[in-house]
Amino acid sequence: MPYSVLDVEQLLLAKLQEAEGIGVRTIREYQGELEQDLNSIVAQWPALFPAYVESSFDETQRRTFENQTWDLFVGDLSYKPRESRRGGANNPGTYAMLSWLHANLRKVVLASGLMPVRITGQEALAYSDMHGISLYVVRLAIGQHYND
């Protein structure tokens, strides 16, 4: 039986909970936070928000390969210059969060039947020392095979 998007999201969130050890405060599914007022968003940071993007399928006569694509929003806040990216006494910084993801999520099998997590890209969405924010998105791919 294939894993649904909701199943994979729950497995991904469970793995990401380990990031609390480096000071990540909020880890939950994306709920449109980037569409809200900036002040209400950053009050939750440092944060990790995974969001399902799409699936691609490759089918044979008896098996299907599904590749799920996820965006993982990585955000931090500090009103001291560069600390939102580099970290400080009260926050890990997005650079440390990105490093943690590469060390602890890349090539990890979240459950039997799933392929290892692949990080296929990352980019800065916003950063500003004046506003004290740093926001990146990491693109993940999680595949699975199943019988039709």
pLDDT digits (tens, 9 = 90+) for 42-95: 778 899 999 999 999 998 888 899 999 999 999 998 888 788 889 988 889 999
Q: How far apart are CA 97 and CA 20, in angstroms?
A: 10
**Are 132 and 77 in contact, with CB atoms under 8 Å apart?**
yes
pTM comes to: 0.89
Longest dimension (CA), the chain: 58
For residues 145 and 129, which has the higher predicted lDDT (pLDDT)? 145
Exposure letters 77-92 (e unless 16+ CB within 10 A, then b): bbeeeebbbbbbeebb
Taking the domains of the chain in order of start, what are their residue ranges? Answer: 5-147
Angle made by CA atoms 131, 134, 136, in degrees to the nearest 5: 150
CATH T-level topology, domain 5-147: STM4215-like (3.30.2000)
**Strand stretches in the chain, DSSP E:** 26-27, 47-59, 63-77, 118-128, 133-147
Listing from the earlier edge strand, what are the strands of the sheet with 63-77?
Answer: 26-27, 47-59, 63-77, 133-147, 118-128
